[in-house]
Structure 1
Amino acid sequence: MNKVFRILLLVTIFLVSLKLAVAQETKSIQLIDLLTMQPIVNVNFEYGNQSGSSDQFGKIQIVFSENNELKLSHINYGKWKLSHNEVVTALSIGKVLRESNTVNLQPVSVIAYHTVNQTKRIDLNYQDKLNHDAGAVLNSDVSINSIKKSGAYGFDPVLRGFKYDQLNIVINGSCSASAACPNRMDPVTSQIPLNAIESVQILKGPYSLRYGNSFGGTINFLTAKPLFTEKFKINGRLSSTYENNGNVFRNEGIIGLHTKKIAFNMVGSWSEGDDYKDGNQKSVQSDFLRASVGANLSAKLSENQMLSFSANRNFGRNTDFPSLPMDLINDDTWLFNAEHSLLLKNRKLTSWKTLVYATHVDHLMDNSLKLLNPRTMNAKSPTQTLTYGGRTETTWNSKNTTTYTGFDLRIETAQGSRTREILTGPTAGKIFTDNIWQNSRIERSGFFAETNIITANFLYVVAGRLEMNKSDANDAATEFVAVNPETTKTQLNPSLSLGIIKNFNNYYS
């Protein structure tokens, strides 16, 4: 009897162990589309404490457990559940059929209203101030694109199809540096210290005669207003970012000292990067190094007078321009600015602002960084530009009228040469020198006035400008004179703008 009992106990233990082993065995269920009979990939599932997604064959792997539901979900097939019995059936069959869901969307109408305001303002955040090129920041506006000759530097803005000198790009309405490179490796926007800028004002079209004649429009970079405090105060900011594609480091900082009468700020930035890889994993030449350092001092002479001075130094080194025959080797730029402002109360003349500025760009480019095989020529081009001028403007206010009057002056000079050393061919060993800028000089001076008259139903805008342009080629090349015998030119250009604006509602005018 004991022997029979022992045999029955051993058989029972064996059957229970076999059942447990089977229950712990990992089994697969294949998910198949009911109509196409193709496997359904990336179906998410949950089964007890098990989870995952179907593989490329539509299969999921689970270990069977008692009284658990199998939850499944897919963007094209929705969410569904398999009960305990359905799971047992699916495991025995080895597959589950599912029909895709069809979602019908109602028609959608998108209505957009064209803005009637020709002036737009972009406020810069800390990420914008980390950028080493102002042209890249301008691309955040849908109306502005860029001409890119490098993958990381020197983005030349295009506003409504207008570019280069068709755009008036200034700092605080006047100051700007002139590009020294004939291929515009260093456009005006590349010389703007972004961490000292608070906002950007975009005036579209040739309407703003206050800032000069410009077909495309005016892009005005506005610096932060000085901060005066009742007690001595120190503040600062330090920001950094890193991009692994291109190994790009960007850093910027500012430190300020503030009192009731004095506001002093020092700013600095450093950015550098290597070649990056595009979507096809091809390396794109984009080496660059860019840095700037500057200081701004503002003094409150009285409750209604302020005097400000600023100086900035920009550095550029070894920057790749794969679409151009040469690369940037050195670019050193100085920007100086001085401004006096006077605010008057209880008078028709409410403010008077005067500023003077000067900028100098020392630029060197050559083809020494280019991997040329065979190398047929060595080329080098040192160039310089000097820009200086000033602006004075008064603001007059009455009950319903605002008038701006003033005078501005801008003088630009450019000089430089290109040296070409021939390495192959019949002229090998010879060196040619080309006079690029021909020691040129452009002087622009003008008087301007603009009046805004506000009535109950209309806004009347009247603007005028009388500008004199004078240009000289002080070292004209023989080849240039053969085509353009007139090397000195003076023009008087009058401009007039009239406008009437009526607002019908918030969207139309």
Structure 2
Amino acid sequence: MKIKVLTLVVLIFALVSNNFSQEKGIIRGYVYDAKAKYPLVNANIWLEGTNRGDVSDFKGYFEIKNLKSGNYTVVVSYIGYRQKKELVSLAPDEVKTIEVYLEELPYFSVEEIVVFGKPSETYNQVEVGGKEITKQIPRDIGDFIRNFSNSSAIKKGGYALDPVMRGVKYDQINVQIDNGVKIEPACPNRMDPPTSHVQAEELEKVEILKGPYALRYGPNFGGVLNFVMAKPERFEGFTVVGRVESGYESNWNGKFGRLTVSGGQKLFDFRISGGVKDYKNYKDGAGNEVQSSFKIKDWSGKFGFNPVENHRFQISIREVYARDVLYPALPMDGRKDDSRVVSLDYLGKNLNGLINSVNLKAYYSKVYHLMDNAFKPTIAMVDAATDVNTKTYGGRSEIGLIVGENVLFVGFDYSRIEKDGFRTRKMKTGPMAGKTFIDTVWQNSYVSNLGVFSELRTGLEGFNIMLSARYDINYAGAITPAPSFARLFGGLSSKHHNFSLSAGVDKVLTSNLQVTLLLATSKRSPNISERFINFLPIGIDNYDYVGNPSLKPEVNNSVDLIVKSKLLGGIFKGDVFYYYVKDFISAKIRSDLMPKNMGVLGVKQFVNIETVKFIGFELGYVSTFSKNFGFKVDLSKTKAWDAVTGEPLPQIPPFEARSTFYYRLFNGGVTPELTIRAVSRKSDVSTSYGETPTPGFAVVNLMISVNYFKFADISIGVNNLFNKVYYEHLNRRVRTTGIPIYEPGRSFFINLIMKVGE
């Protein structure tokens, strides 16, 4: 089989090479922004009706070689710009040079993290479009995050996986919706991380900003995840369009459906969408059933008003209702989780020669969470239920200025998080039988954060430079603390003054080589769990955890070195990073404290560790030599440890390699895609957190997407093609048996989108 595959690959390249060798002409040129006249990097260029093309380099340059004489239509496209076509007549052996100027699209979004000014790598930004998401039918967006380089997720059941990027997690990642909206988990065990309140079918794209360098979007310790929800379409005259989406996944016996209606005209627009999901327990590769069922209902609406050119007002509403979500790794299951998010936005753009943009946002979000142990073995001894809720409200204001050839952003943001709730335990056995205990969970606590920020983008002697700073005042307190918790501390309120700085510089050394250096020192104040959790088993190990209001902010001193090059008919990107973290928040055993929960090993309290270190790399290659055939390869690894004791930090993913191969048939109407993912054995583990080595594995997924029809998109495929038995290192263990939560075995899926009027 391997010999046949190798022979096929050799024949393909031989045919391509032979075809090229018979042709002599060249079309080359440059792609520029029509207004600012700076080069557009990674613009797509191809010859209409052929599979020949290129991608522009760091000077906007492209080149298509070995062409026969004749007339060609050169098509140039770039995200956020109008596509443009150029007619070129080529004589035998002629070299024709053209310049293409693209105009920015007039529609602009209040949802996206948009950087204007000279293109650069000073944010280390990655974007994944909505079509790439929905065609893979991800039942949970946290699970989908695993597809990104050096990204993983903590799994406690079949739904609501918690993202991990470069080994940082939870509030070390700034997770937001539509560029600034935040939603706080209510569950102490994070059954409902922010990603669980976003449905994949509603996404327009995911923006990932790795490292603590983007300080404009709130306190940033280890990166930003911005989930851009689909926005209304724009029409000149009144129009209404719609789509119906439905899918099925075999292993889970999982079904989902969604209806979307959008429309409007130049003055106003709207988009309303709603969906349902019903997934059962899945089976792993050995046929063992994993408790993982869940039910989801959601709806969302966006309503925009465009009174005059370059001004937009928008209101967004989103609600998600989760029911009967099973978590085999936790002492309880999610019976109910309801969330609501409301946001108001204003964006003005190109207001005058000085003010390029004004962005104003106000939002409110709330989560109500109910969990119990009705389907756990402990129900024979105690009837337990936890009823909790959170509220988050805040806003953001930013002005973008153009000062000469410089771009300057200034603004402020504010958020306040409030949490409260109780756990009720009705004892059934033992000397306490018949008694009821009520425990305060969040102790009616809050965290407020007010920040001001600025960012300057400029150029000097061929260097692109970014300088950014923010100053945060962080308040926290517990309004109604439990007496036993209050006795542990002299005071429960705290106030932090956090100053963060970042800088980035990139330089185009040659037409095929760009180098970027990023530096930052960034602070993160502890969250409510780390400050005020009240004797609950919320960690990866079996201990009651207690908060610590005296915690210091974590400080991440970081550096990224990025090299990007056009190489071997494609784009190569390599990134090496190093984090030197002071006052890292961890936990240590308190042998003087007694646990409150049955079956736990003791009590751990959150503390600051003097110094920890992270080091890692991300390597990627994307082929660009053909419009139809392509592949991409990603390699990543992170290593993290306590610099004082030398012990590895917990929940750090192992080395991973991922390859994807595709071929566009029928002019891109049908695209088969094969993905191979290999993960190495994880042996450097944290024994103090109960981690054990994880075996390596390799899985293969196959998908065929069909975009041949104007009225429908179809994707079919199979995940875990060879039905491997495996589990991820960050998967939690089944609480009753200690066995890791294994991943699903072979699972077939189909996703169908029907379009009306689009």
In structure 1, the residue matched to 2:426 is 421
In structure 1, the residue matched to 2:237 is 231
Q: SS in structure 1 opposite 2:144?
A: helix
Higher RCO (CA-CA < 8 Å; seq separation 6+): 2
In structure 1, the residue matched to 2:142 is 135
Output the CA distance in 2 between the equivalents of 1:206 and 1:251.
38
Deviations 1:336-385 (A, max 9, x none): 01101112344111110101000010100001122x27711111000000
Q: 1:483 aligns with which of 466, 480, 488?
A: 488
* Counterpart amino acid of residue 154 in structure 1: A
* Counterpart amino acid of residue 382 in structure 1: D
Deviations 1:107-158 (A, max 9, x none): xxxxxxxx986111111217538544221221221221000000x2110000
Output the CA distance in 2 between the equivalents of 1:356 and 1:495.
24
In structure 2, the residue matched to 1:149 is 156
CA-CA distance at 1:192 after TM superposition: 1.5
Report if aligned partners of 1:131, 1:250 keep a CA contact under 8 Å in 2: no
Matches within 5 A, 1:108-507: 118-125=124-131, 128=134, 131-150=138-157, 152-370=158-376, 372=377, 375-505=380-510, 506-507=512-513
CA-CA distance at 1:223 after TM superposition: 2.7
Moved more, 197-206 or 117-126: 117-126
* Aligned CA distance change for structure 1 residues 479 and 232 (closer, same or farther; 3 Å): same
CA-CA distance at 1:452 after TM superposition: 0.8
Output the CA distance in 2 between the equivalents of 1:384 and 1:76.
55
Q: SS in structure 2 opposite 1:227?
A: coil
Output the CA distance in 2 between the equivalents of 1:504 and 1:480.
59
CA-CA distance at 1:76 after TM superposition: 9.3
* Counterpart amino acid of residue 499 in structure 1: G
In structure 2, the residue matched to 1:47 is none
Q: SS in structure 2 opposite 1:502?
A: strand
**Unpaired stretches in structure 2, ≥5 consecutive residues:** 5-9, 11-120, 516-758
Q: SS in structure 2 opposite 1:490?
A: strand
* Aligned CA distance change for structure 1 residues 459 and 420 (closer, same or farther; 3 Å): same
Matches within 5 A, 1:75-90: none
Output the CA distance in 1 between the equivalents of 2:459 and 2:294.
51
* Counterpart amino acid of residue 128 in structure 1: T
Output the CA distance in 2 between the equivalents of 1:445 and 1:117.
23
Output the CA distance in 2 between the equivalents of 1:498 and 1:241.
45
Report if aligned partners of 2:279, 2:295 keep a CA contact under 8 Å in 1: yes
Report if aligned partners of 2:123, 2:213 keep a CA contact under 8 Å in 1: no
* Counterpart amino acid of residue 233 in structure 2: L
Report if aligned partners of 1:195, 1:267 keep a CA contact under 8 Å in 2: no
Among all aligned residue pairs of Structure 1 and Structure 2, give the percentage whose two residues are the same amino acid: 33
Output the CA distance in 1 between the equivalents of 2:378 and 2:397.
55
Moved more, 438-447 or 230-239: 230-239
Output the CA distance in 1 between the equivalents of 2:319 and 2:2.
58
CA-CA distance at 1:435 after TM superposition: 0.6
Deviations 1:406-431 (A, max 9, x none): 01010100001111111111211111
CA-CA distance at 1:221 after TM superposition: 1.2
* Aligned CA distance change for structure 1 residues 280 and 458 (closer, same or farther; 3 Å): same
* Aligned CA distance change for structure 1 residues 501 and 76 (closer, same or farther; 3 Å): closer
CA-CA distance at 1:227 after TM superposition: 2.4
Output the CA distance in 2 between the equivalents of 1:341 and 1:77.
58
Report if aligned partners of 1:195, 1:253 keep a CA contact under 8 Å in 2: no
* Counterpart amino acid of residue 125 in structure 1: K
In structure 1, the residue matched to 2:698 is none
Q: SS in structure 1 opposite 2:156?
A: coil
* Counterpart amino acid of residue 144 in structure 1: S
Q: SS in structure 1 opposite 2:307?
A: strand
Matches within 5 A, 1:49-128: 118-125=124-131, 128=134
* Aligned CA distance change for structure 1 residues 224 and 454 (closer, same or farther; 3 Å): farther
CA-CA distance at 1:257 after TM superposition: 2.0
Output the CA distance in 1 between the equivalents of 2:435 and 2:501.
54
Q: Which has the higher helix share?
A: 1
Report if aligned partners of 1:255, 1:267 keep a CA contact under 8 Å in 2: yes
**Structure 2-normalised TM-score?**
0.51
Report if aligned partners of 2:123, 2:210 keep a CA contact under 8 Å in 1: no
| Number of equivalences | 398
* Aligned CA distance change for structure 1 residues 450 and 337 (closer, same or farther; 3 Å): same
* Counterpart amino acid of residue 426 in structure 2: E
Output the CA distance in 2 between the equivalents of 1:148 and 1:211.
27
Report if aligned partners of 1:256, 1:265 keep a CA contact under 8 Å in 2: yes
CA-CA distance at 1:175 after TM superposition: 0.5
Output the CA distance in 2 between the equivalents of 1:76 and 1:179.
48
Output the CA distance in 1 between the equivalents of 2:451 and 2:122.
29
* Aligned CA distance change for structure 1 residues 148 and 496 (closer, same or farther; 3 Å): same
Q: SS in structure 1 opposite 2:255?
A: strand
Output the CA distance in 2 between the equivalents of 1:499 and 1:306.
32
CA-CA distance at 1:495 after TM superposition: 1.5
Structure index of larger Rg: 1
Q: What RMSD over aligned residues (CA atoms) do the two structures have, in Å?
A: 2.0
Q: Which runs of 4+ in 1 moved over 4 A?
A: 75-78
* Counterpart amino acid of residue 481 in structure 2: A
* Counterpart amino acid of residue 405 in structure 1: V
Output the CA distance in 2 between the equivalents of 1:419 and 1:241.
39
* Aligned CA distance change for structure 1 residues 207 and 374 (closer, same or farther; 3 Å): closer
Report if aligned partners of 2:327, 2:334 keep a CA contact under 8 Å in 1: yes
* Aligned CA distance change for structure 1 residues 346 and 187 (closer, same or farther; 3 Å): same
Deviations 1:203-256 (A, max 9, x none): 111111101222211101123343221211111111111112121002222111
In structure 2, the residue matched to 1:65 is none
Q: SS in structure 1 opposite 2:295?
A: strand
Output the CA distance in 2 between the equivalents of 1:367 and 1:459.
56
Report if aligned partners of 1:445, 1:467 keep a CA contact under 8 Å in 2: yes
